[in-house]
Structure 1
Amino acid sequence: MYKTLYSKGNKAFLELLTQSRLDAGLTQVELALRLQEDQSLVSKVERGVRRLDVVELMLWCQALEMPLTEFVRRLEASTASPAGHTRMG
């Protein structure tokens, strides 16, 4: 498996995290309060300095009041190629 840190897929993931927060009308501070974390964690995650595991992503989505499945659907849509194949590289 190749490294994904600098992939287009990871960039799309980070952009979707930030856009989902903005769409929910939340600042980083407000999201951090919902997560019972510091604002610096939200900033680090959105910048790609700190990565989320699946359980953390689930909690993040709950704090945004977005089903995890909806987040994944949006991520897949943002990384899909015109032929319908997922473009992660």
Structure 2
Amino acid sequence: MAKSLHSKRQQVLIAAIAEQRRAKGLSQAQVAKALGRHQPFIANIESGERRVDLLELLALADIIELDVHALIDRLQRTAG
């Protein structure tokens, strides 16, 4: 099994977060501020340098209106 930080599923996850953030017209700084974090926090997630835990994902999903259930379904269909 590939290390989760560099796995295909991780790539799908970070792409979904970044794409949805952009689709909503939000900057990394705006999302970070809504989370009570600094912009590099979001940049590190989107660049794959930092994994996002479940609670962070749920908070991010609320802000960027990401359908977590659909994302999980997609991740489950993604090999590795």
- Partner secondary structure for residue 5 of structure 1: helix
**Partner of 2:7 in structure 1?**
7
Aligned counterpart, 1:45: 45
Give, in whole Å, the separation in 1 of the partners of 2:60 and 2:68. Answer: 10
Question: How many pairs align?
Answer: 79
Q: Tell me the distance in 2 between the aligned counterparts of 1:65 and 1:7.
A: 24
Instruction: Give the structure 2 partner of residue 87 of structure 1.
Output: 78
Query: In 1, distance between residues paired with 2:23 and 2:68?
Result: 12
With normalisation by structure 1, the TM-score equals 0.76
Q: TM-score, normalised by structure 2?
A: 0.83
Structure 2 spans left out of the alignment, 5+ residues: none
Structure with the larger RCO, 1 or 2 (CA within 8 Å, 6+ apart): 2
Gaps in structure 1 of 5+ consecutive residues: 81-85
More helix as a share of residues: 2
